[in-house]
Amino acid sequence: MAYETILFERHDGVVTITLNRPETLNAFNDTMIRETTDAFKQCGKDPAVRCAILTGAGRGFSSGQDLADVQKRGDEFSIAEHLRQGYHRLILEMVRLEKPIIAAINGVAAGAGFGIALATDIRIASDKASFILAFSRVGLIPDSGTNWFLPRLIGQGRAYELAITADRLPADQALAWGVVNRVVPHDELMPTVQEFAARLAQGASLAYGLTKRTMYRAWEQSLEEALGYEAYMQETAARSHDYREGVQAFLEKRAPRFQGR
């Protein structure tokens, strides 16, 4: 895959997408927003892809919107339109991808970079990582889904404080608050994430995807609706090869050979 601002590598069912503008700590310009969106779209289209990793090149994960680009905008420029056409498409592509996305958070995730990290499914951070809702430093409100994701993870009081102070949330605090699933020594980040992704790529991928869809759907449902949707999705899972294989493997006391269908 030939991209200008990201790297796209596939290995044994695992795609690694690397945000690759290290001189800006991987700030998002329009090309990088578009290319990252396209990369996740490709992950969805390719049945051989069963797990995706998102990380950053160099010492940052992403510093958010490229502020040098902001300087070039004219009076007619609409940020709302930019969000709708850019970040929103990227975030929805990630959330709708019915395959697990693991963020390997190698350094600072600021502004929209924090939002994109939150749109992944499992976040594993280096002990050098940190998170900043940098928006208020430049006079903006949080965007890129942070108002939706963050209060759900850490509660509104903490999220609001991070928004208005733009204070740095270090990795250990992010772990304590549930922003990340685990923190590992910096040098162990990629090996840890790659090993985990390889394990997921061998798993019951169809069920993983349906679980993601069902959990997101449950946020906007009553208990009664959520139970109904669960039953519907379970019917789909139960009709799969993987379910038959999983039960058979259990009874035969062997490891299952899941195919993601």
Strands of the sheet containing 182-184, edge to edge, are 6-11, 14-19, 51-56, 101-105, 122-126, 182-184
Interface of this chain with ligand T3D, residues 130 to 169, rule: CB under 6 A:
132, 134-135, 137-138, 140, 143-144
Burial class, 168, CB count within 10 angstroms (exposed 0-12 / middle 13-18 / buried 19+): middle
Tokens of 104: 């390997």
Q: Which amino acid is at 246?
A: G
Kind plus residue range of the DSSP H or E element containing 131:
strand 130-132
Cβ-contact 16, 226 below 8 angstroms: no
Minimal distance, residue 168 CB to ligand T3D, in Å: 7
Cβ-contact 119, 91 below 8 angstroms: yes
Interface of this chain with ligand T3D, residues 17 to 46, rule: CB under 6 A:
24-25, 27
In the list 1, 9, 48, 68, the residue contacting ligand T3D (rule: CB under 6 A) is 68
Which one is catalytic: 88, 127, 172, 241?
A: 88
- The residue range among 91-99, 117-125, 127-135, 213-221 that interacts with ligand T3D, by the rule CB under 6 A, is 127-135
Q: Pick between residue 52 and residue 134 the one whose CB is nearest to ligand T3D.
A: 134
Q: Pick between residue 7 and residue 140 the one whose CB is nearest to ligand T3D.
A: 140
- Cα angle at 118 between 113 and 124, to 5 degrees? 95
- The residue range among 98-106, 128-136, 199-207, 247-255 that interacts with ligand T3D, by the rule CB under 6 A, is 128-136
143 is catalytic: yes
242 is catalytic: no
Enumerate binding residues for ligand T3D (CB under 6 A): 24-25, 27, 63-68, 70, 79, 82-83, 108, 110-112, 132, 134-135, 137-138, 140, 143-144
Q: Which residues are catalytic?
A: 88, 143
